[in-house]
Homo-oligomer: A and B are copies of this chain.
């Protein structure tokens, strides 16, 4: 395997590496219907003869099918999620904008009167749930010949998907990090501000904007609001303090950082997807794991105020009450929510040890 794939450049190469799996029509949990769904995916490693080493890595809000890029702290050859050992699958969620069917998917040009540029699904994309995301993943894995997951894992929104896999008793193990069984009011509030920033942009057009003419200014503000919640106060302080931008001393570095992150996001993300995915995770609520025999690892980070550790403790407790074997750890690191992406030491060690246990 080419080591260069695991450099910092990896995420930029995802566009060229994913494959598309058509999974047919879908009836959705909230009543909507999609006539033809496609899921973008990538795989690493080899499925064992017994089919018992399949690992699905679920991505967070802005991720994609390329965990060896955005989660290189955990996923790759010799890493805790070892692509030399496991058959690792990454897939872009239903509703996403990195290859899978979502609000930004194009309708056939023939469907459009007037012959203008291809039209996005836009507001015709129905409301989806975390359950729908997982159903789409189950169909993808069935198409890949995988009957049962050995491990479902993910952080933040990815953790909710892994939890839903476990709730359906469709995986042997679930590792859920920096996540929650349901959003609290503050998490919903942060997502709502992001959505309102998009809706406030006149280019939003109720979701039915032209390709290339989306609500980029609103989307950038939405992303900046997100970044407020990804770092702890201490991480903001260590990273920026009150330092000024060298080439523009009237700006604080943290201001430049937010502007840069906002702008960059608009080059790779669709506003309609941000709305669809945040609504789906706000709506998600796992209240019981009764009937699941999944073995759980639940990790959280002491400085994560967006997904505070008490939510992970509640999740672990719910699994214990269902009689599932559970190991949970609150990791004392100062980086805030981003820690789940960054920590390649403590978290990786816990995952490695837990996976080694029979």
Contacts and interface: CB of A to CB of B under 8 A. Distances in A.
Nearest to A238: B185
Copies in the complex: 2
Per CB-CB distance, the 9 closest pairs between chain A and chain B, nearest first, are: A200-B217, A185-B236, A185-B240, A186-B236, A185-B254, A192-B255, A193-B224, A186-B233, A197-B221
Contact of A233 (B200, B225, B241, B305): B305
Nearest to A202: B202
Contacts of A259: 192, 196
Contact of A258 (B189, B224, B231, B258): B189
Nearest to A229: B228
A258 B189 CA distance: 8
Given A221-B221, A285-B242, A228 B196 contact: no
Nearest to A257: B189
A183 B252 CA distance: 11
A102 interface: no
B196 A237 contact: no
18 contacts: A182-B242, A184-B242, A185-B252, A185-B253, A186-B233, A189-B228, A189-B236, A189-B254, A192-B255, A193-B225, A193-B228, A196-B220, A196-B224, A196-B259, A200-B200, A200-B201, A200-B221, A233-B308
A356 B200 CA distance: 51
A67 interface: no
Contact of A218 (B200, B252, B253, B255): B200
Nearest to A217: B200
Contacts of A270: none
Interface string A201-237: 1100000000000000110110011011001010011
A99 interface: no
Interface string A271-305: 00000000000100100000000000000000001
Given A186-B236, A197-B200, 14 more contacts: A186-B233, A186-B237, A188-B255, A189-B255, A189-B258, A190-B228, A192-B224, A192-B252, A197-B221, A202-B202, A225-B225, A228-B228, A233-B308, A242-B285
Interface in A87-135: none
A241 B184 contact: yes
Main secondary structure of the interface of A (DSSP, over half): helix
A43 to B, nearest CB: 37
A262 interface: yes
A252 B197 contact: no
A13 interface: no
A282 B255 CA distance: 11
A88 to B, nearest CB: 34
Contacts of A233: 184, 186, 305, 308
A268 interface: no
A192 B262 contact: no
